[in-house]
């Protein structure tokens, strides 16, 4: 199975002191089943899994319960195939 390229993140927008909206591109690949979203604090060396989203669903995620006043975050989205 050929792994798809990871989708580009179009935007990561701070919505409040405790939430960020992440929007990513759709990957067109027949065996793509879902996307996995990961977050890391800029001071952390590793990403943490934050959610799974089906291929046919909305290509955005609102990350809640974080602290945007004291921390900066990076996100990555991985496309997962069967």
For 2-36, what is each residue's pLDDT tens digit?
A: 567 889 999 999 999 999 999 999 888 888 889 99
Rounded-to-integer distance, Cα 42 and Cα 52, Å: 22
Q: What's the mean per-residue pLDDT of the chain?
A: 90
* Percent share of the chain, pLDDT over 70: 93
Rounded-to-integer distance, Cα 64 and Cα 78, Å: 20
pLDDT of residue 49: 97
pLDDT of residue 33: 87
* Structure token pair of residue 23: 């929007």
pLDDT of residue 62: 95
CA dihedral of 54, 77, 25, 43, whole degrees rounded to 10: 140
């Amino acid at each position: 199975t050929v792994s798809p390229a990871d989708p580009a993140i179009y935007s990561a927008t701070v919505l409040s002191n405790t939430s960020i909206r992440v929007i990513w591109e759709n990957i067109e690949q027949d065996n793509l089943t879902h996307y996995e979203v990961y977050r890391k604090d800029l001071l952390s060396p590793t990403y943490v899994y934050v959610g799974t989203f089906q291929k046919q669903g909305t290509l955005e995620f609102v990350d809640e319960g974080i602290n945007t006043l004291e921390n900066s975050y990076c996100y990555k989205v991985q496309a997962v195939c069967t």
